[in-house]
Amino acid sequence: MESLAQLELCQRLYKLHFQLLLLFQSYCKLIGQVHEVSSMPELLNMSRELSDLKKHLKEATAAIAADPVYAEGAWSEPTFTSTEAAIQSMLECLKNNELGKALRQIRECRSLWPNDIFGSSSDDEVQTLLNIYFRHQTLGQTGTYALVGSNQSLTEICTKLMELNMEIRDMIRRAQSYRVLAAFLPDSSVSGTSL
């Protein structure tokens, strides 16, 4: 009885995984269509600019993590009087390529204004800075978009999901065949009868 419940659970897991695969494939198609639309002249594509900024911010994050001077709490007390002043300061840091300073400022602002525009301590600092930068660069504009990430990684993920889905399906089929075989095997506890 327990093995039947486990088999049913595996089948449901397979169905759920297959739905996830379909959802991810739909997402990949959507991203592909956005890339096609990006060639339209009335749209402004900020993808390259934001991808470069993300790369540099990740490098700055790694440099800060490796330097004990920038250990948690090693910077001075927050000096911002408002969120607007903090955003302007961060934008200036990003424009002047002072990325380490921008990352420290986002941490300061999170301690001053938790769960505000700066996010919480569990949110990705780089993504928050990218969101702030993009929002500021596109104020009052329409038709601006940015895709940060690569199609290569999406293709790899999709391939791995499909491979995993095939493995799960094969395991379920084997488990079902074992169940069928077990149903037709003679019970070893029953002694042989003679005629």
Q: Please give the average per-residue pLDDT across 86-104, as a whole number.
A: 91
- Indicate if 67 and 162 belong to the same structural domain: no
114 inside domain: yes
122 within a domain of the structure (yes/no): yes
Q: How many domains does the chain have?
A: 2
Enumerate the β-bridge partners of residue 144. 44
pTM of the model: 0.57
Position 195 in a domain: no
Q: Which domain holds residue 167?
A: 150-180
Report pLDDT digits (tens) over 32-53. Answer: 777 776 666 677 778 888 889 9
In-domain check, residue 18: no
Q: What is residue 194's predicted lDDT score, i.e. its pLDDT?
A: 43
* Same domain for 135 and 50: yes
* Same domain, residue pair 89 and 159: no
**69: in domain:** yes
